[in-house]
Amino acid sequence: MDAVDLARLQFALTSIYHWLFVPFTLGMTILVAVMEWTYVNTKQEVYKKMAKFWGKLFLINFAMGVVTGIVQEFHFGMNWSEYSRFMGDIFGAPLALEALTAFFLESTFMGVWIFGWDRLSSKAHAVVATLTAIGTNLSAFWILVASSFMQHPVGYVVRNGRAEMDNFLAILSNGYVPGQYFHIVLNGLMTAAVVIAAISAWHLIRKAHIDFYKKSVKWGLVVTLVAGLAAAGVGHHQGQYIAEVQPMKMAAIEALWDTQDPAPFSIIASIDEQGQKNDFAIQIPGGLSFLTQNSFTSGKVMGIKDLQAQAEAQYGPGNYIPDVTAIFWTFRVMCLAFGIMIIVALIGVCKVNKETFVQGTTYLKWLFWMLPLTYIANATGWFTAEAGRQPWLVYGLQTTTAGASTNVTAPEIVTTIVGFTAIYVIVAIAAVYLACEHIKKGPDGNSSHDVAEKEEARLWN
């Protein structure tokens, strides 16, 4: 592999690792704040316990996300120095605002939240939790403003070989931002809710802290269902916008080689990228036209071949087709994982209020195994969004190859990949250990095994 491919691999590894923690952080801050306000309004101690227990899990997750996020910024200056030179005037502004308006806000109030349980009134502490949630999600907003420019550049001029900011409001109001931001926030809520539901199911299988975890699992199931359905709606809207501003990405997601009107949606396909065709496909007639233009009977969707010809005419000779097979299947893995979570949550919402909910274990086991699905959905969704933009680093302005550093060598990148990966593994083991120990102890600091033994002893006596 050359230096560019190694730089891509390193950034991909860091991004995937970082993205394991971000959605959970975004969603859990909101849920913890809601739990605290519920405690303020009801005075029921269980909601305070919920905020403390799930909030501590958030803190472990947040620490991991910050560490990996900082490493990403070093990549920009080292492996992608040409990108930083070309895009720094624009990309740097929202990142600076993220630090000034959001990161300091969330970090400051997070400290107050940690140490303020016995020093603040319940209402003041709920306000602190709310400000932490606002700071965390505002941080995501600024980062996604920068990311959205890479997907759909607006408000700029190219001068002296650099992209320079021409209209900050245009960058801020980029049509790509709302769909991407709300989709990610809703996915974050869904991720946090699935984690709550899955961990609660694990304890309920062991008949530990039943009242606490039954209430928690109800929260998790309801939020999973509501946030999931809302995310699907936002995702549909975002898909229509992508079809407009990034037609090649949409065509690649569907492996649509030829322009069609109406265009079908392929459920599965055997893709021949070399021959630019699908050897086999199970399709829904007009499905893609409906997804992009709300009509099964009409709606022209450009195919990959025609879009490649357009790109060559506009930008010059080159291959402007992303990895169709990878994008096609990662998108479907995301949809499958998402669909399973929605179905399991819907079943749970119908069952959770019944007395028999905690007596059987079959459904609870299914609920527990939803835990990896949310991370699979997040990772494959983000891969689809970013890999679908290739070969562009900044869509229509700078290719990935042009954005790479000219000074960093392949051996140097290999060395840092090995070093960073080793550190990531060690830190991940530590984080998982801390999270598992916290989960085992439960809301009262006693493990589910200890609780089961106490309950058995009580019954015998």
Res 241 pLDDT > 60: yes
Q: Greater confidence, 243 or 76?
A: 243
Q: Nearest CA to 65 among 35, 32, 107?
A: 107
Return all residues near 273 (Cβ < 8 A) that are at least 6 apart. 324, 325
Q: Quick check: is 217 in a domain?
A: yes
Domain-located, residue 66: yes
Q: What is the pLDDT of residue 50?
A: 93
Residue numbers of the domain that contains 134: 3-242+396-441
Long-range contacts of 87-90 (CB under 8 A, 24+ apart): 87/149, 87/150, 87/162, 87/163, 87/394, 87/398, 87/403, 88/162, 89/162, 89/163, 89/164, 89/165, 90/146, 90/149, 90/156, 90/163, 90/164, 90/165, 90/171
pLDDT at 19: 83
**Phi, psi (degrees; rounded to nearest 5) at 405:** -70, 145
Note whether residue 311 is domain-resident.
no
Is residue 446 very low, low, confident or very high in pLDDT (cuts 50, 70, 90)? low
Whether 458 shows a pLDDT value over 60: the answer reads: no
Region 313-331: mean pLDDT is 94
pLDDT for 63: 76
Confidence of residue 290 (pLDDT cuts 50, 70, 90): very high
Q: Is the pTM of this model over 0.85?
A: yes
Cα 275 to Cα 215: distance, rounded to the nearest angstrom: 55
Q: What is the average pLDDT across 90-115?
A: 87
Asked which of 105-109, 305-309, 453-457 is least confident by mean pLDDT, the reply is 453-457
Please state at what angle helix 81-97 crosses helix 45-78, rounded to 10 degrees.
150
Compare 101 and 27 and report the one with higher pLDDT.
Answer: 27
Q: Is the pLDDT score of 73 beyond 90?
A: no
Whether 129 shows a pLDDT value over 50: the answer reads yes
Q: Which pLDDT does position 456 carry in this prediction?
A: 41
Q: Taking the CB of residue 249, how many other CB atoms lie within 10 A of it?
A: 25
Mean pLDDT, range 297-307, rounded to an integer: 92
Q: What pLDDT does residue 195 have?
A: 95
**Strand locations in 124-257, DSSP E?**
156-159, 162-165
Residue 122 lies in a domain: yes
Give the pair of three-digit tokens for residue 431.
Answer: 């984080």
Residue 124 lies in a domain: yes
Q: Does residue 203 carry a pLDDT above 90? A: yes
Tokens of 110: 């997070």
Q: What is the mean pLDDT of residues 412-441?
A: 87
User: Is residue 360 domain-resident?
Assistant: no
Question: What integer is the mean pLDDT of 282-299?
Answer: 91
Look at phi and psi of residue 455 and say left if phi exceeds 0, alpha if psi is from -120 to 50, else beta.
alpha
pLDDT digits (tens, 9 = 90+) for 356-411: 787 778 899 999 999 999 999 999 998 999 999 999 999 999 998 888 887 888 88
Q: Determine which of 6-10, 29-33, 133-137 has the lowest per-residue pLDDT on average.
A: 6-10
Residue at 383 is within a domain: no
**Number of domain units in the chain:** 1
DSSP class per residue in 184-215:
HHHHHHHHHHHHHHHHHHHHHHTT-SHHHHHH
Average pLDDT on 211-229 reads 94
Higher pLDDT, 353 or 109: 109
Rounded CA separation 190/234 (Å): 14
Quote the mean pLDDT of the chain.
89
Please report the pLDDT score of residue 460 as a whole number: 38
Residue 343 resides in a domain: no
